[in-house]
Structure 1
């Protein structure tokens, strides 16, 4: 019999499947981004969240699938701040583009996004489907959102845009430019808030000058 002064045995809390899945993804994200794919093991993830390998295999299928799910999840989280076309189409074009561009810049310069870019590039040769998933859930989703916005403005006669998708790609490309590559390569620090605002204002000015209704 335990003495009154002995600590009570810890009760094991049963986690729901959704809660366990989230905890696995959070732990895997931290390990993958910090240690890289090769240096992260399923055992290391289990050590952080508890449970068994069966739980990870039942939710994700294996290490590659867990990695792909982590990439998709981080991309989705990063892009949640981007305004949807149906929310912004009736607002001032310039102000809406500035808001959109600021959201994109924050994503591009976020340390987690930068780490994710590096990780995808390093593993894409071995896992081609990973790069496709990243492009679809990350940059591709941002381009699609801006494309819908430009289409609505063009249909309303607010902008002269003949190819909204291409225009969206050009707009985001101007935001990214060489500075993003330099940050990803580690030769410069991410742009601060002031530099991001300045970049956004210049890009929006140049873009609107090219698509203004004549």
Structure 2
């Protein structure tokens, strides 16, 4: 539930009370709704506090400014994304093949959600206008998830489950499996494959990925 969201990595000044926590989260959620509805540039801080309640002082206190609030929203959604796709597992005793398949399927299902796809489009648009936001999102989004998978692959390599000399390169190759599907979603092109065809595609690609990482 929303009230249990950990705000420490998100807010500039972490609220110490339940009421402060709820106010901070309300600002995040309201700003997200307005940004998606109107676009980043067409939403003012007044719009956000009128929608969420409270005052602009709360935004300055918790997030610094509008850009800081947008970064916090991106971090908040990233944390939810990682929880949804379960990429953080360190249990290499699991079915390695199935874990790699499930991670990509969960990733695909996440970006297939209309709100998530719309937010990714918003991120791409805003990144073109603000290099600081672009770097923030890149480092805490794509780079972070690649490093998580790279760590998983490196652990599997050290345990002799596969051969992976450069885990980060392999992680980038792995996520490339979804690139065409991801861009079609972002461009608003409806998927023409059935769920089973998507599963078959991802399974095939993961098998080829593992073929290239066979123990030598």
TM-score, structure 1 normalization: 0.84
Task: Name the structure 2 match of 1:10.
Answer: none
Task: Decide which of 64, 68, 78 is 2:67's aligned counterpart.
Answer: 64
1:1-214 matches, cutoff 5 A: 16-81=19-84, 82-86=86-90, 88-176=91-179, 178-189=180-191, 193-214=195-216
Q: Distance in 2 between matches of 1:187 and 1:205?
A: 27
SS at match of 2:181: helix
Deviations 1:78-131 (A, max 9, x none): 121223242x21112112212222222223323233212211221113211111
Q: How many residues align?
A: 199
Q: 1:106 to 1:191 in 2, by over 3 A?
A: farther
Deviations 1:22-81 (A, max 9, x none): 010000111112211011121221122211111111111221111111112112211212
Higher Cα radius of gyration: 1
Q: Distance in 2 between matches of 1:191 and 1:49?
A: 40
Q: Distance in 2 between matches of 1:187 and 1:109?
A: 11
- Structure 2 gaps, min length 5: 1-16
SS at match of 2:160: coil
Instruction: State the superposition RMSD in angstroms.
Output: 2.0
Q: Distance in 2 between matches of 1:25 and 1:195?
A: 37
Deviations 1:112-161 (A, max 9, x none): 33212211221113211111222222222221111111001111111111
Q: 1:92 to 1:189 in 2, by over 3 A?
A: closer
Higher relative contact order (CA 8 A, sep 6+): 1
Q: Distance in 2 between matches of 1:190 and 1:205?
A: 23
Deviations 1:3-32 (A, max 9, x none): xxxxxxxxxxx9621111001000011111
Q: 1:47 to 1:76 in 2, by over 3 A?
A: same
CA contact (8 A) 1:158 1:213 kept: yes
CA contact (8 A) 1:75 1:134 kept: no
